[in-house]
Structure 1
Amino acid sequence: MHHQESLTTHSSTSVRYEHPLNERVRTYLRFEALFRQMHHNAKMGDQWQHQLFFRAIFDTLELLDQIQLKAELVKDLDKQRIKLKQWLNIENVDQNTLLKLLDELEKRHHELLSAPRLGQGLREDRFLCSIRQRFSIPGGTCNFDLPSLHHWLHLSEEEKSADITRWMEQVEHASAALSLWLRLIRDSGHYIEQQATQGFFQDDAPDAELIRIAIETQHGVYPMISGHRSRFAIRFLPFSEEGEIPEKLAFSLARC
C-alpha cells in the first residue's frame, strides 16, 4: 500500500490509499516517498530527524542502483507532453492552463536531460560513503560506531544546512519531475462513490495506472488491494480484532 494520507472534512475524516497497477508506478511511488522523507527531515533541526534524512538518502541510492529513474522519467514526461499537445486548440479546454502544463513539462524534461547521472554526487561524497554501511546495521549509528556522524550532528546549523542543501541538489530535478508526472496521473482520475459488499469490491480499470481509495476512518477498516494492468480487487479488513465489516460499505474510488 502506498501514499496514505488523511483528508479532513467538516463532518468526518477520510484516509486515502493508493495502489499501483504496474511495476513502473510502484517504483515511482517508492521514490516519491523517499524524496518526501528527505525533504521533510532536511528541514528539521533535531539530530534524530537528521538520521532519518540520511537513511532516506541511502535507501534512495539503493533504489537508484536498481532502477534507471532518470531515463524512465524522461520517457514518461515526453509521453505526457505528446498526450497534452493533442488538446491544443480543442474547444472547451482551458488553453492557458494547458500551455502552463506544457511549459512545466518542457522545463522538467530539459532539466533532467541536462542533469548529470542521478545521485552520482551522493555516491562520491566522502562523508556519506564513510557512514552509509553502518546505516544498514540495526542500531549501527550510535556515536561509538560512527564518531564522524556524531561530529557532524554537532556542527553549526549553517554548516549542516550547507551540506544538506548540496546533497538535496543531487535529486532536486528528479524529485520535481516525478512530482509533476504523478500529479498529472492523479489529476486524471476523479473520485466516484462506490459500495463494497461484505467488504469486497472488484472491477476493471482499462488504461489506468493507479487506483486511489478514500474511506472514512469511522468505519474502522483498511483496504487490501490487489491488481495488475486493468483488473483489480479490494478487500476491506477490520483494524481491530473486535471490528466488523458491514454488509454494504461506502467508499470513494478513482481510476487514474
Structure 2
Amino acid sequence: MITFEFPLNERIRRLLRIEEIYQKFEHQLKNTHDYFEFGCFNTLFEIVQLVSRSDLKIDFLQELERQEKKQSTLIESQTLKEGQLNPKEIIPMIQVARKKLENIDVKPGFNFNNNLFLEEVKKRISSPGGLLDVDFPNFRNWATHKTRKSKLEDFKSWAKPLMVFKDAASIILLILRNQCHVESIKAKEGKHQQSIDPLKTFDLIRLELEKTLNIYPEISANKYTVNVFFNQLSEELKKEPVKLNLEFKYSICWL
C-alpha cells in the first residue's frame, strides 16, 4: 500500500514538511556514495530555515500542552478504544519533548553558535555554482581529510540542537494519525465525493492505495465535502485522468 496525505490547514502542512525534511536528512546521512556531504549540507540549512521561525517553538509548546491535557482526560475517562494510543505511554513522550523545547534557543538567523565554517559553507552553497573547491579551499581540506565516520559525527553534532523540533512534530503527527475516522471506499470512474461534518474541524486526509495501481490522487476540500480525483502519468509524464472503478482506504483525522 502507498499512503497519500493532504493537510487541511497550514499548521499541519508545516508539520508534514518538518517531518519529511528530517527524514530526508537522516536518509542522506546513510548514503555511502561520494559527495554525500553536499546533500547533507543543503538539507541541514533547509532545516534551519524551516525551524528557526520565531513562532514555531511557541506553537509546538502550546500544542503539546493541549495534547497532554487531552491525553490526561482519556486516562480519567477510561474510554480507550481498540487500536488507540495508550495515553499513559504518550504523556511521558509529550513531557520530554516539551522540556527539550523549553530549553532550546533557536531564533531567526540561527548560526550554529557562531560556527564560522558552517556560515561560510551556507553562504557559498547558495551562490551561483554552489560549493566549489576553487572558491573554498577550507571546505576541500575538511572533505578530503575527514573520514566518513568523522563527517557523520560532525553533521550529527551540528543537527543535535535542531532535533527537538523533529521529536515534537513526530509526537503531534503520531497523535493526529491515530485520531481518524477510517473507511473503505469505491471510487467510480476515478473520482469520489465525500461529505464531512461542517461543525467539526478536521486537519488531515489520508488515502491508501495499492501500489500496483500506479496512480495518484488530487484532493480539493471545503467545510462540507472532500473531492478526490485519481490520475496517472503518461510516458511523457503528463497528467491523465483515471476512468477506472477502484477501491481505496479513506481516513479523515483531527487533533
TM-score by length of 1: 0.83
Contact 2:44 2:159 in 1 (8 A): no
SS in 2 for 1:83: helix
Counterpart amino acid of residue 177 in structure 1 = A
Q: Structure 2 residue aligned with 1:213, among 204, 207, 210?
A: 207
- Superposed CA offset, 1:211-234 (max 9, x none): 111111322311112335664322
- Deviation of 1:76 after TM superposition, in Å, equals 0.9
- Deviation of 1:66 after TM superposition, in Å, equals 4.6
Q: Structure 1 residue aligned with 2:61, among 61, 74, 78?
A: 74
Find the counterpart in structure 2 of residue 225 from structure 1. 219
Q: Structure 1 residue aligned with 2:245, among 236, 244, 248?
A: 248
**Equivalences for residues 123-162 of structure 1 within 5 A:** 124-137=114-127, 139-154=129-144, 155-162=146-153
**Equivalences for residues 41-60 of structure 1 within 5 A:** 41-60=28-47
Contact 2:28 2:39 in 1 (8 A): yes
Find the counterpart in structure 2 of residue 11 from structure 1. none
Distance of 1:99 and 1:63 partners within structure 2: 31
Distance of 1:230 and 1:68 partners within structure 2: 30
SS in 2 for 1:101: helix
Contact 1:47 1:153 in 2 (8 A): no
Gaps of 5+ in 2: none
**Equivalences for residues 1-256 of structure 1 within 5 A:** 14-66=1-53, 68-91=55-78, 93=80, 97-117=86-106, 120-122=110-112, 124-137=114-127, 139-154=129-144, 155-189=146-180, 191-205=182-196, 206-227=200-221, 231-240=225-234, 245-256=242-253
Counterpart amino acid of residue 13 in structure 2 = R
- Superposed CA offset, 1:171-201 (max 9, x none): 1211111111111111212542112222222
Contact 1:108 1:173 in 2 (8 A): yes
Distance of 1:195 and 1:96 partners within structure 2: 29
SS in 2 for 1:42: helix
Counterpart amino acid of residue 220 in structure 1 = N
What's the % identity of the aligned pairs? 24
Contact 1:118 1:170 in 2 (8 A): no
SS in 1 for 2:216: strand
- Deviation of 1:41 after TM superposition, in Å, equals 1.8
Larger displacement relative to structure 2 (194-203 or 145-154): 145-154
TM-score by length of 2: 0.83
Counterpart amino acid of residue 100 in structure 1 = E
Structure 1 pair 238–44 and aligned structure 2 pair: CA distance change class (3 A): closer
Cα RMSD, aligned residues only: 2.7
Counterpart amino acid of residue 251 in structure 2 = A
Contact 2:85 2:178 in 1 (8 A): no
